[in-house]
């Protein structure tokens, strides 16, 4: 009788191989598939033309982590960041317009990929044309703004926001500040409180590749160093006819003055926080809105004039000693004894604070550099990015 398999078991078939017979059983086939080679993808693709400078360069890897990504235009690298798994790299700064770029990527297993492309040449090139006050060797006052002017009109809020994000202000002594757009070509930086004196402030505009508008891209970066001098603050009381100048908190000069006679609004000195905007010796002063022969007409050359508004106000010299310290008789300016006016003229820095009180005409925030007339909370509302 033949033997049967145990109940519930599967029957097996004798392979016929006998030990020592010289015939071995074939090994069982592996159930683990061979790993696919990593795939690296690069955007923009190889051969791309007229790539937007603000387009992100993206490198992704499937099947392995990225070991290295290098993006360059000539010898200028483009910075970027990996994700946590190092399977994706994204550029973090715009590219240079009208430039050739190469991308080289390598995975940890040695797989590589490359791409070459060219960025577009903008129809309109955006650049900084002026930074005020930023004259080499000049020291400025603690109230100084940073006024930046561009060569193109930036009309859209998105363009203003992109440009504003490319502007950086760093100071040796930290300060809070904000930008405010006053028109389509000018943006102004003002601190929340006066700068701390005796320090260096660096302004940088990283405009390369930044899109300011349709077919408009930044083509040049700009850096300016601004040096803050001593804290020189002049306080003028038009009712007491006196101007007190402090330097770093100490009184260095007391001047007897005569202010505007207030017979008209035009002849009323403005109250508020002003800044010294510039100076001239002499300065020609002509009565606004009047011609020769009209009542109140004047055309004078005035010495040691320090300007503090766009409405024709100065601290200046005048041999008017009979009125100084006693009466306000000027056309709106602050006049003082010639020797004291000369002293102030020689000491003053652009951006020095001139605070005036005692009149019923308030300084407008946009009258010259009257920016401190706005509370900082309101000033910030002029920013394109909040």
DSSP string, 249-280: TEEEEEEEEE-B--SSSTTSPPBEEEE--EEE
- Percent of the chain surpassing pLDDT 70: 91
150-204: pLDDT as tens digits: 999 999 999 999 999 999 999 999 999 999 999 999 999 999 999 999 999 999 9
Q: Which residue has the tokens 């923009």?
A: 44
Which residue among the candidates 274, 304, 316, 331 is catalytic per the annotation? Answer: 316
Same domain, yes or no: 181 and 65: no
Which of 90, 119, 148 is the endpoint of a domain?
Answer: 119
Residue 300 vs residue 12, higher pLDDT:
300
Which of 94, 119, 144 is the endpoint of a domain?
Answer: 119
What mean pLDDT is reported for the chain? 91
**CATH code of the domain containing 336:** 2.40.440.10
* Residue 6 a catalytic site member: no
18 within domain boundaries: no
24 within domain boundaries: no
256 within domain boundaries: yes
* Residue 316 a catalytic site member: yes
106-161: pLDDT as tens digits: 999 999 999 999 999 999 999 999 999 999 999 999 999 999 999 999 999 999 99
Residue 34 vs residue 280, higher pLDDT:
280
Instruction: Give the range of the structural domain holding residue 143, as residue numbers without chain letter.
Output: 124-229
Calculated CA dihedral for residues 210, 211, 212, 217, nearest 10 degrees: 80
131 within domain boundaries: yes
Same domain, yes or no: 267 and 352: yes
Same domain, yes or no: 237 and 225: no
Q: Where are the alpha helices (DSSP H) in the chain?
A: 157-165, 338-347, 376-379
Same domain, yes or no: 210 and 236: no
Same domain, yes or no: 78 and 129: no
261 within domain boundaries: yes
Same domain, yes or no: 78 and 159: no
**CATH code of the domain containing 98:** 2.60.40.3780
What does the alpha-carbon distance between residue 328 and residue 168 come to, in Å, rounded to a whole number? 44
Let me know: does 99 contact 119? Beta carbons within 8 Å: yes
What does the alpha-carbon distance between residue 358 and residue 258 come to, in Å, rounded to a whole number? 12
Residues 6+ apart with CB under 8 A from 337: 255, 256, 317, 319, 321, 324
Q: Which residue has the tokens 């360059």?
A: 72
What does the alpha-carbon distance between residue 349 and residue 339 come to, in Å, rounded to a whole number? 18
> Which pLDDT belongs to residue 203?
98
235-291: pLDDT as tens digits: 999 999 999 999 999 999 999 999 999 999 989 999 999 999 999 999 999 888 788
What does the alpha-carbon distance between residue 349 and residue 352 come to, in Å, rounded to a whole number? 6
Locate 288 and state its tokens: 């606004």
Which residue among the candidates 241, 274, 331, 333 is catalytic per the annotation? Answer: 333
180 within domain boundaries: yes
**CATH code of the domain containing 157:** 2.60.40.3710
Nearest to 304 by CA among 329, 328, 332, 337: 337
Residue 225 vs residue 29, higher pLDDT:
225
Residues 6+ apart with CB under 8 A from 9: none
Same domain, yes or no: 134 and 191: yes
> Which pLDDT belongs to residue 27?
52
> Which of these ranges, 15-29, 55-69, 116-130, has the smallest mean pLDDT?
15-29
Let me know: does 365 contact 373? Beta carbons within 8 Å: yes
* pLDDT at 24 > cutoff 60: no
Residue 41, classified by CB atoms within 10 Å of its CB into exposed (0-12), middle (13-18) or buried (19+), is: middle
Greatest Cα pair distance in the chain: 147
Q: Over range 81-91, report the average pLDDT.
A: 97
312: region left, alpha or beta (phi > 0 left; psi from -120 to 50 alpha): left
Same domain, yes or no: 321 and 214: no
Let me know: does 95 contact 209? Beta carbons within 8 Å: yes
Same domain, yes or no: 177 and 264: no
- Number of domains, the chain: 3
Same domain, yes or no: 218 and 271: no
10 within domain boundaries: no
Same domain, yes or no: 246 and 323: yes
111 within domain boundaries: yes
Same domain, yes or no: 239 and 352: yes
Which of 229, 263, 278 is the endpoint of a domain?
Answer: 229
């Amino acid at each position: 009788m033949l033997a049967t398999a145990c109940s519930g078991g599967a029957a097996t078939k004798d392979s016929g191989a006998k030990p020592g017979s010289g015939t071995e059983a074939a090994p069982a086939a592996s159930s683990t598939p061979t790993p696919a080679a990593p795939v690296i993808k690069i955007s923009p693709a190889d051969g791309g033309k007229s790539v937007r400078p603000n387009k992100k360069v993206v490198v992704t890897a499937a099947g392995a982590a990225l070991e290295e990504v290098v993006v360059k235009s000539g010898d200028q690298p483009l910075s970027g960041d990996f994700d946590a798994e190092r399977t994706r790299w994204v550029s973090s700064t715009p590219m240079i317009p009208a430039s050739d770029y190469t991308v080289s990527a390598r995975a940890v297993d040695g797989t590589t990929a490359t791409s070459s492309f060219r960025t577009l040449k903008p129809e309109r090139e955006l650049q900084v044309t002026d930074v005020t006050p930023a004259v080499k060797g000049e020291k400025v006052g603690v109230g100084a703004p940073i006024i930046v002017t561009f060569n193109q009109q930036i009309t859209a809020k998105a363009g203003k926001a992109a440009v504003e994000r490319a502007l950086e202000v760093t100071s040796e002594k930290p300060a809070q500040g904000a930008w405010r757009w006053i028109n389509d070509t000018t943006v102004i930086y003002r601190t929340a409180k006066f700068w701390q004196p005796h320090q260096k402030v660096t302004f940088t505009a990283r405009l390369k590749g930044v899109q300011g508008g349709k077919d408009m891209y930044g083509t040049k970066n700009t850096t300016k160093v601004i040096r803050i001098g001593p804290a020189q603050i002049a306080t003028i009381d038009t009712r007491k006819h006196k101007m007190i100048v402090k330097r770093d908190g100490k009184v260095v000069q007391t001047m007897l003055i005569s202010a505007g006679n207030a017979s008209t609004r035009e002849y009323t000195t403005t109250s508020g926080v002003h800044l010294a905007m510039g100076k001239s010796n002499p300065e020609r002063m002509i009565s606004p809105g009047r011609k020769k022969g009209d009542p109140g007409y004047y055309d004078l050359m005035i010495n040691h004039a320090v300007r503090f508004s766009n409405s024709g106000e100065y601290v200046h010299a005048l041999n008017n000693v009979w009125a100084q310290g006693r009466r306000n008789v000027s056309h709106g300016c602050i006049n003082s004894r010639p020797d004291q006016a000369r002293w102030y003229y020689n000491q003053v820095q652009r951006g020095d604070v001139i605070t005036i009180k005692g009149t019923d005409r308030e300084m407008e925030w946009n009258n010259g550099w009257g920016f401190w007339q706005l509370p900082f909370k309101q000033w910030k509302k002029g920013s394109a990015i909040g």
